[in-house]
Structure 1
Amino acid sequence: MQPNEITDFFRKLEQDSRLNVWHLAILIAVAVLALNQGRYRRIKVSRSKMMAKSHINTVPTYHKYFKDLQDMGYISYRPSYHPGVRSELDLLKQP
């Protein structure tokens, strides 16, 4: 994402009344991983890293809000069922 795209994305987050602190924590964790990997498409993710970066300590809480973000159109998730291959996630520009 370009700097102006990041600014626009965060403005959308600010204006979305459906989001709460848990949604934002996960989105920030996704943004950190995206920046570390230098992309916003096909971000490699794992639940343990996402939970650690978002400071969410319970699996049910993580799954609930992660699923909400998918349903709201903020992320597109492609799970990997192979233990040696990480799942992928796209950070969508237009929620």
Structure 2
Amino acid sequence: MESCKPLAIFFEAISRDARICSTHIGLFAAILNYWQVNGFPVPMRAYAHEIMPLAKIAASTTYHRCIRDLHDFGYIFYEPSYKRNQPSSIYLKTEMSDDE
């Protein structure tokens, strides 16, 4: 059940984080599902248009705001490509420190 570790860590951490809303949770769940379906790659490489439908996010501005929030809050490491023909990189955290 090692594949569930990032989800357990995420839910433990967000229980103390008032900044996280349901859209962040849905996006994180979609990222985790995409990661599992694609064989647990490190880093996970994905386009926004692949993740957005899984997270039930229709607006790209919402997706980019939430994925940047997850990065800024320390739940993922997000490396945008800024190129239409190159996917962005997403790293899932396998541990959370006490200050996050």
Structure 2 residues without counterparts, runs of 5 or longer: none
d(CA) in 1 for partners of 2:65, 2:51: 13
Query: Residue 70 of structure 1: SS of its match in structure 2?
Result: helix
What is the TM-score of this pair, normalised by structure 2?
A: 0.77
Q: Equivalences for 1:52-91 in 2 at 5 Å?
A: 52-91=53-92
What is the TM-score of this pair, normalised by structure 1?
A: 0.81
How many aligned residue pairs are there?
95
Q: Percent identity between the aligned chains?
A: 26
Contact 1:40 1:90 in 2 (8 A): no
d(CA) in 1 for partners of 2:15, 2:43: 24
The residue number in structure 2 matching 1:47 is 48
d(CA) in 1 for partners of 2:56, 2:4: 27
RMSD: 2.2
Matched letter for residue 64 of structure 1: R
Cα-to-partner distance string for 1:16-38 (whole Å, 9 max, x where unaligned):
33211010011011100111122
Query: Offset at 1:3?
Result: 5.0
Structure 1 residues without counterparts, runs of 5 or longer: none
The residue number in structure 2 matching 1:5 is 5
The residue number in structure 1 matching 2:30 is 29
